[in-house]
Each structure stands twice: as structure tokens, then as C-alpha cells.
Structure 1
């Protein structure tokens, strides 16, 4: 039976995506932080079928459905009574591989593994392949299933048979990944064949034929890249696993001729796309593709065995097409959807005129559409947040300011709808977690847009140590927690004041994980800048990060032994610095209002961080609010907890820097 609420053939007018006049009342918190109402879609290898994860009536379980594009007939092919469809991918044009999840459970309540399943595109020949329960709770037919720690491989492989490669993951005691075995799995019989391995592999790379060709291991803090030749593994290069190295590179994808495209830093400060020659074992000096201001991050797009395009993240996501037909297609779609990022997904071996388009902007959450190249028409597939209206959202721009030592610091600035860039607005400085990641890129964000909808400017600095901006920017952050990294955040705040963007009397600092740490240190080090702070799942005790018998985290043991001493500091050699930059040791200096939140089941930054700081700061500061979410992990999984937290944030900010603040 066709599922009219899931997929429609109605033409999506481009005007629906364009901003208009802002409404008076801001959207409710639920519109921002509810689960996405559409879980994504994937074209089959031929492009004849579309698989999608769809939500049942009245917010029910997520199900797996398939649409036949020629007839627009849709059918639910898999569903669970006690769970939701999780990840899914095409094994071939006729068969799908998928796992399960449970969106109604917080991490501390989960007692099941994802499992592994396969089904034909017509819903027939369903087969359970791996246990959904762990050893502590067994299935009745577990003897015929792969163990619970069998997972999908996030590479689709050849997609031309009933077989696929899957991962058998081995974990350390704390939950970190120790090693990943690769298995070739027949999705009809359940039989597997193990792939030979050169050591404790953490990452596998399939070649253009969908066969294992490269592996990356981690031993004693060093990554080694291995190449499979004539059924034997050969070490290509070894480099430091945690700090950028001239010998290192990131495998991207094999071409049909056997060459490998990699991301590497060769000449200059930035990582670019280069070609690795397996015959010589060397990375070419001349880049295939490079960006002016960003390290390359993204993937390659191959069509019919040839490199057709490169998807990358610059100021925003974008695609450079090498194939002339795809270049023309991108231009046609961009003309129909101006001002948006329009990402085109093409089937592996296209036999139809259909492509899948994901379109979004700073004001428009992601919308998924089919585009017919023959007719030039769109058909809407789904919207991630259909209740969000672009006309009510704020505007976002990429900015750069200069830190006190001259380092350029990129940032994202979001302003409320209709606000002036020199309006002296109340502002929230939102610090990203990681910290060794890129914080964000231009596009709709629930956190920043929710704050903007409440009248706040939002500044998101990419402080030193953030990745994606070159080796110098990353390296400048080594051992700079609470020092130069913190200065970058403060310098961004002062820049916003000097630009007339922010009212100096109404600024709050906020963030999660490392962002929570930076919030606490910002309030301690720069009390004149910040009137209040919001920290959730935040690091408060640097020494506790290195592990303890009572409050261990899920950080890998090698990271704690080899990575953290280089990135954050050595427990013995840098003991004085770690004490001086640990918020729990400086808690008495924090006098501003503070909202603290933590999950009771957080394994990345254990609850002890929040409790220790709450107790320490509470001795001298009576303006501290504490909320703990039972069974939540490193962030809020359940919508009800997201609603509660952001409602608390809204009220907290309003009291201290918003319309309810005492003048």
C-alpha cells in the first residue's frame, strides 16, 4: 500500500525554502529539539528504488520503507515492535542491510546491541544475522547468529551480490574500541569469512571493487597504514596517532585504476587531496584538490568507475564536480534553489534520471528531495524539522577575528531574524566540544537558532586546537587548555563588543564537554566579560580525565597514555599547569550565576566531574543551579530531557541577560 505520508510526488516550490517576514511568537522549544521527523534516504545502486527510514503515526517507531520510483509505490519492508530501525544500506539493488536502536531509551537504560538484519526490497526473505542482546541476555536462537558486537561497515562495498563486509568490534574494559575484525557476510545464509589482518585494526578501506585493500592499526600511540598485496600486508608508513605528522595521511578512496586518493599535508599548512601510488608507497606532492582556508574534509564521488566529484567542507558544505554533466546538473539545481547548500547524491550505477538532493541553509533545516533530470522537477521526500519556518530563523555568517598573539580565529556569528550587526544585542558565546574537532559549519543548527529565536546573538569561535584550519591552528592549541585556547574565546567576545554586536553588560558563555570546561574557566578567568554561564556534560577536574579506579571514562587507554600528555599535559611534568587550569581547583573564584547539568550515565566525562564542581563552587556561590538527567550519557538522547534542559536555559538566560534581567 502506498505510504502517502512518507513519500509524495508533489512538486516542492522553491519559495517554501526562502526566508520571509518573521512571525511575532518564536517557535516552541519542541520544534527545535524533537527527534528529526525524517531519518534520511538512500538510492539503490541502480537508482530505481529509494530506501528511507520513516516514523509511524503519532511519533511511533521508525520503520524501513522502499519506494519504487517508476510507479511511486512505497512499502514498509522492516519494523520492530520494541525498537526502531537504526542504520541501513543497500547490499545490492534487491537487498538491504540494517540494524536497530531504541529512541525511547537513554544510554543508561540500553541493554541491547544494535543487532544486524537483512531483507529484500519487497519485504521478503527477512533474516536476523547478529544478536540484538549481549551475553547477559541471550536470544533463543543465538547459536545461529553472529555475536552482539557485530556491526555494519560504513562503506557500502560492491553492492552487486548478497554479501557485504561487516565489523566484529572488540572493546576495552571501559568501552573504547580496541580492534575491529572484518568479516565477509552472506546476508542470505548468515555464513561469514574472516579477513586476514596485520594487527589491531581500527579502520578498514575497501578498494574500487569493494574488497579490503588497506588497514590502519594503532600500537604504542603510533598509527601504521598497511596495504594488502598478493594476500600479504605491507606497512606503508607509521606516524604519531594524535599529533599531526608529515608522514601521515588519511585514506579517502581507491580509484578503478588502483591509485588511492588521500588527504595529506605536503607543502604548506593545509591538508589537501593527493594521490598515493601503491607501487612506490609515496604520496604525490601536487594536490588534486585543495582549499584556500581549510583542511580538506570530505569524500570522493565516483560514477561508473571514474572520479566525478569531490564533496568537501569549507565555509559550508559544497561539491566540486569534475564530470561535465554533473557540473551542469549542480548549476541547474542551484538556480532552482538559490541561497541554499544543495548536495546531490547519485546512485552508484545510475539507470534512471533520479538523483537525491539534500538542501538546507542557515535558516532552513535539511529537506530531502528527488530530482528528475529529464523533467527538471522535484518531489519532496521528507523534512528533518518540518515545523521550523525559515522566515522565523536568524542569519548566520562566517567571520574571522584576531587573537591577542596575532592568530586568525574563525567563528560563526548567528543573529536573530531582522537584527542589525551593530545592535548591541545580548550574546551567548557558545564553545564547541572536542576540542580537537571542527566545531561547526554554516547551516541550520538547533542550538544557535533556538538562542537566536529568543533574541540572542550567538558567537561560536573555532579557537586554536580546533581542526580543519591547518596545522598551525591545531598545533597552537597543544597543552593550552585554560590558557591560549581560553584567550581565543575571550578575544572573540571582546571583538564582538568592539564591533557593536554585543552589549558588554549582557554576555553569557555556554558549552558542553570541552565547551563546558571553557565555560567554567571563562567565568573564572574573565569575570568582567561574562555575566553568567551554562555548562553541561563539562570537564571540571583535569586529573580525573586521566582515569581512576572509581570514575573511569571511555577514553581509549592508548589515548590516555600517549595522546593526552601531548594534547593536554603530562600528569607529572605539567602537574602545576594542570592544577592551575583545573576548574575544580579554582571554584572559589567563580561568583557569577551558573547552570550546571550532567547525565548520570555519562561515560565520556563521568558524573563525578559535575558533582565535584557543584559541591566546590556551592561553598562560595549560592547562584548555582544543578540538574541531573537520570540514565543520560554525554548529551541528551531523549527529547523530553532536551526540552527540559533548553527550557531551563531559556529561563536562566532571560533572568540574567535577557528581558527579565535586572537593569
Structure 2
């Protein structure tokens, strides 16, 4: 990798922080009629900002058009920014503070797709002033005196009081039956490492409030086993065991430790929705009294803590927010919300209780994420920077959480975004999330949604049954319902939008990626009277192929998920073979006559290109309105900004011809 010169790095940094390089940032008289696609789908200009342990320094990833993402450190007392890791052929990808003077980071090439990237991310450490740079892990299979390429950042706050951190070592060459993830204690100055003892096979590790290893989890045979490490003896013991995939009432997920060693978990405790609870580490029993309970919503956030104390928790209901256990933090939240109204303002803190600043992550439906520093002592709020520049909130669409009834009476949560200025009888894009067994929709500025709204389309994003976040009943109602009740929920949302006067019934398109692409194809086949056109990118076309087929390379789905999760939630490939045929788009291709845009990545390990190829051949036999694009180096989604620009320009043109301004009158 080639580092930028010091002078060049400083110049680029100054330009990025001032916004001088932002696309359209100062365009006034010659402003385009519509915000350009690059405003929405470029890489962020500022990302992953994080306070140092003392709170005096702020680190972040800084980007700008025409150069690579660099790691910067800002001395908040001196108001001075320093680029500490910057290259002209790779981007800094992630980082974490080792201590107040040193950082750990890795790199990647964001200008090529995964098919052209044969290197791992590596590991590097550097002082906050850019000195004492050291490579710790190789970017290739092996390297002299370096840890192997399958060494990764842990992504949890460590002790931050020495030059050592914990990192993961997960060898992909291991036999699946004995696959495990090791934890290494790594000295970032010397490169020396030592493996931490483990209780057997491990998938993931959890550090306690002091930054020491305390829990391990391993899923095998459809069962998750959790082990706990006793602080006094360092010995491991089994703490709990429960079903992995069914959303069982006895199951739980560790969230984090308090300063007193108390374990906080996400658990159902006999209720429909998961809440934040505490666990008795002596017995492995979850306290049935919830610490944070949100009726109708699953708790799926994290703890906000500093050394020795849990201050609160991040939550998500209709929008993201925080619940504070600490009175001082509750007062800080109230003050910040007054200074930044009409936004979700999430506050993170440094490890040191005496830190002079807190960091505010502020977002809304019409404004991308922006960072601010707030001083509890002075009450001052200072802007740090925006993730995207040139976005005019007045030209973005307002987004509202809505609920509608499916045909069987189930209430379906959704997000509805309307174009700037609103309107009635609008062309509608039903945007279906992937997964599908995840919470798909999150209130806030999203590039795909807002790009469509800026072009005059209303956007409906349903969290159909099977989506997580709304309780066990809503989640489990989607089991084995691909193409059936899950598909009906999506169609019922479009019909609801028509009934509300929002959508023009003759100008509705269904679109999505992965499972969303599958749903787009099934929607065209199942509800041809409802959808005028469809857009599928990286979508499943044959359910059976998820289990058994046509990989030109290894699938990235785990064997445990394929053997135990997929049969439970999607269906059994033998017992449910007839249902798979009835609900696979490849079997319904002859019914799809509407205009169709198909896009795939040639090196997709989740939904291989074969899905797209076989479906294209089947549908083109009778449908002459099929547009097709393959991005050669891309996987399950578009990594390269240029590919994102190209794809969404195709989407804009496609929608314009079929349900937009260029559509034939009806």
C-alpha cells in the first residue's frame, strides 16, 4: 500500500472537512433539476466517529470524492485534525481505540467489488499522531512475522488501558465440523499474541465491562450453548443452552455487562416481545422483571456504558432512541434534543467518566447522519461533520411509520415515504426488504428510499410477517410462508396505499434485493393486476437452490443454518418440495409478462448468478421487456460506487418509462 504524502493528506483533509469537495455543495444558479444520483450513493464523507477513552480526542473515517477514506484524529482541546492513516490505493475500513494514544485499524479497496479483491483486510496499529505504525496481520494467506489473514477486529470496547487488544482468529480452512473462533490477546506495539483458553468450539466472544473475556457462544445442531468464565479462577462453565432458530421463550442473547459484573440480556421471559433483562450468573436464570420493556417491539439495542457503570440503552420503536438509567445522561439528552429538534439524537460516551464531551449521532428522515459534540459543562453544541454533503432536506421526502391490516387481520408495520411536497394518486414503489427474517425498515434517511422519493415516487416498505422486531408471533407467522402469507402482506400494503388515495392503482412497481428480489418476482406472478413492473436485484429465483445447488464456489451460509434454521423457517426441501415449486419464481416465469429489470453480481456467494441466468432464460422466452445487467466483480449487493450509480440510473430510467413521467397514459 502506498501512503499519501503528509502535505497531500492535510490538504485533502481540509477540503473534506470544509465541504469544498462535496458534490453540489455550493451549486446554486446551475443546480440540476433533480439531485444527482451521486449525492445518494457515494461513500460517506464522514463515518464511524468515536471518542477516545479520555474524551479529549475524536477519531473518524474521512472521505471525499477523488481520494481514499482515511483515518483522522481530532484533538478537541487544540481543535486540530491529523490524518493518521491514509493511502492512495486502499481505504481505511474500520478502527477502534486501543488506549488514549493508539488505534487499531484495517483496510479494504472500496473501488473494486469483492470478486476483484483477493486480499483480506489485515490489521494495523498507529499512534494518534501517525507515528509508530505497525502491521499486525497479513492481507494474504500468510506473511513473515505477521498474524495470518484470517485475524479480525473484535469490535467491542476493551480495557483501553494498555497497548493490548483482543482480536479474533477464525480460520476458514477448518473443517466445518470442528470450526471455531479463537480469541487472541495482541500487543499492538510488539505484534506478540497469546491465545485465550476456550471451553470448546466457539462462534463468538463477549467482553465484560472491564474489557476482559467473559462469555462464549456456539451454535450446533440447532442448539446454542453459552459458557461463562469465572473472574476469580478463569475457569469456564456452561451457563445456558437453548434452541437457536425458533425464537424460543427460554432463549436469550447477551447484550453486555454492567460495572458490577451483572449480565444484561435480550430475552422473552415468557412474553411475546423481547425485552432487556438481567441474568443471575450463578444460576443462569433470567430475571422475569424487564429492565427496558417496549410493548409491541423487541428490544434489539445495546448498552451505553463507561468504566464501572451502565448509563442506559439504545432502543428502536418507530424510530431509534435511548432509555437512560442515569439522571445526568437523561438531562443531557433533554438539552441536546432542544438544540437539535425533529431528529433522533443518539449519544455515545467516552470510557472515562470525567470526559468533557459526549458525541451526538443525529439523524432524521430527511437528513443523513451528522455528528456533533456536546459539552455538559458549558451547554455548547459543536458540529463535527455530516456523513453526506449536498443533501437539501427540503428536497427529501417525509417518512412516516404506518400500520395496515393484512387480509387475515394481522397488523403490518411499514414505512411510507412521499415525495417532497406530498401529493395524492402518486406512482408507488413497493420496496421489499431482504433477509427476510430481520427487521427490514429503520426510520431515517436512506439513500435508496430518498432517491426514489426525489424522483416523484411514493415508497412503501412493509415489515411483513416473518420480520423481526415486533414480537415472536409476528416473526413466527412468517415461517414457511415464502410466496404465501408473506407475499399477501406485501400486496395488501399496496392495496392499502390505493385505498388511502396515496397510490395510483395503475402505476405501482414492486422492487427489492435478495428476498426482496424474490418477492418482486412472485408479486408479478401472483398479483399481475396490481403491479405494472418489477425490479429484482440479487434475488432468489428457485428456493430449492438455496439448499442444494449450483455453487461455482462455496456458499457463505453456515451448515448449521442450512441444516436447522432453513428447514424450520423456509421449509424442508423434501417434505415441502411441492410448496417450493409452487412458490419459486422459476416455476412461475410464464406468468410474468410485465416489464422487468434484473441485476446480479457475478461472484455472489449468497444467491449465485445461476439464479438470475436460469430465470432470465425462462422469462425471456415469452417476455420481451426484460432488462438484464451483471456486475462482474460484485457479490450480494453493490460495493463499488460506480456500480451503484449505474444501477440506480437504470432504475430511474426503468421506472420513468413504466410508471413515471415517461409512462404511457392510462
Give the TM interval when normalised to the shorter protein.
over 0.9
Candidates 321, 325, 328, aligned match of 1:318 = 321
Q: 2:373 and 2:538 mapped to 1: Cα distance?
A: 39
Report the Cα offset of residue 68 of structure 1.
1.1
1:581-596 paired onto structure 2 within 5 Å: 581-596=583-598
- Report the Cα distance in structure 1 between the residues aligned to 2:208 and 2:102, rounded to whole angstroms: 21
TM-superposed CA distance for 1:237, in Å, is 1.9
Instruction: Report the Cα offset of residue 73 of structure 1.
Output: 1.8
Aligned match of 1:93 in 94, 100, 104? 100
From 387, 397, 400, give the equivalent of 2:400: 397
How far 1:174 moved relative to its partner? 11
**How many pairs align?**
642
CA distance in 2, matches of 1:352, 1:326: 13
Aligned equivalents of 1:343, 1:161: Cα separation in 2: 29
Cross-structure match for 2:463: 462
Q: What residue in structure 2 maps to residue 642 of structure 1?
A: 644
Once the two structures are TM-superposed, the CA of residue 4 in structure 1 deviates from its matched residue by 3.7
Q: In structure 2, how many angstroms separate the alpha carbons of the residues matched to 1:387 and 1:365?
A: 10
Aligned: 1:332 with 2:339: no
Equivalent residue number for residue 381 of structure 1: 384
Deviation at 1:643, TM superposition (A): 0.8
Q: 1:573 aligns with which of 572, 575, 578?
A: 575
> 1:45-92: CA deviations, max 9, x gaps?
110111121236x52111112111111122111223421111101011
The Cα shift of 1:372 comes to 2.5
Question: Alignment partner of 1:171: what SS?
Answer: coil
Q: Is the 8 A contact 2:178 2:201 kept in 1?
A: no
> Runs of 5+ in structure 1 lacking a partner?
10-15, 17-22, 136-141
How does 1:221-370 map onto structure 2 within 5 Å? 221-229=222-230, 230-370=233-373
Going from structure 1 to structure 2, the CA distance change for 1:176 and 1:333 (only over 3 Å counts) comes to: farther
| Counterpart position of 1:83 | 90
Contact 1:344 1:357 (C-alpha < 8 Å) held by counterparts: yes
Whether 2:156 is the aligned partner of 1:147: answer: no
- In the TM superposition, residue 416 of structure 1 has moved relative to its aligned partner by 0.4
1:501 to partner: Cα distance: 0.8
Give yes or no for the alignment of 1:34 onto 2:35.
no
Distance 1:582 1:553 in 2: 20
Equivalent-residue separation in structure 2 for 1:426 and 1:513 (angstroms): 23
Where 1:61 maps in the other structure, the secondary structure is: strand
Following superposition, the deviation at residue 176 of structure 1 comes to: 13
1:132-175 per-residue CA deviation (whole Å, 9 max, x = no partner) reads 1224xxxxxx2210000000001021111111000001226899
**Residue matched to 2:439:** 438
Deviation at 1:178, TM superposition (A): 4.1
Deviates most, 233-242 or 554-563: 233-242
Deviation track 1:530-571 (CA, whole Å, cap 9, x = no partner) reads 000000000001111113364452211111111111111111
Q: Where do residues 492-571 of structure 1 align in structure 2 (5 Å cutoff)?
A: 492-548=493-549, 550-551=551-552, 552-571=554-573
Counterpart position of 1:68: 75
Q: Distance in 1 between matches of 2:484 and 2:657?
A: 30
- CA contact under 8 A between 2:56 and 2:356: conserved in structure 1? no
TM-score by length of 1: 0.94
* DSSP 3-state at the match of 1:546: helix
Gap change, CA 1:24 and 1:7, over 3 Å in 2: closer
> For residue 3 of structure 2, what is the aligned residue in structure 1?
none
- SS at 2:302 equivalent: strand
Q: CA deviation at 1:6?
A: 5.1
Give the C-alpha shift of residue 343 in structure 1. 1.1
Q: Deviations over 1:231-256 (max 9, x none)?
A: 32222222222221122100011112
Asked whether the 8 Å contact 1:176–1:554 carries over to 2, the reply is no
Change in Cα spacing, 1:431 to 1:404, as seen in structure 2 (3 Å) is: same
- Partners in 1 of 2:285 and 2:544 — Cα distance? 41
How far the C-alpha of 1:409 sits from its partner, in A, is 0.5
Determine the structure 2 residue equivalent to 1:618.
620
Q: CA RMSD in A?
A: 1.9
In structure 2, what is the equivalent of residue 12 of structure 1? Answer: none
CA offset digits 1:291-338 (Å, max 9, x no partner):
122100110112341221111111111011121111111111111111
Rate the CA distance shift 1:595–1:582 in 2: closer, same or farther, 3 A.
Answer: same
Quote the Cα distance in structure 1 between the aligned partners of 2:208 and 2:226. 15
* Distance change in 2, residues 1:293/1:25 (3 Å): farther
Shift of 1:381: 1.8
1:123 corresponds in structure 2 to 130
How high is the TM-score relative to the length of structure 2? 0.94
**In 1, Cα distance between the equivalents of 2:208 and 2:348?**
20
- 2:126–2:132 CA contact under 8 A, matched in 1: yes
> In the TM superposition, what is the alpha-carbon distance from 1:8 to its structure 2 partner?
7.2
Partners of 1:195 and 1:218 in 2: CA distance: 20
Q: Which secondary structure state, in structure 2, belongs to the residue aligned with residue 523 of structure 1?
A: helix
Distance 2:487 2:284 in 1: 41
The 3-state SS of whatever aligns with 2:345 is strand
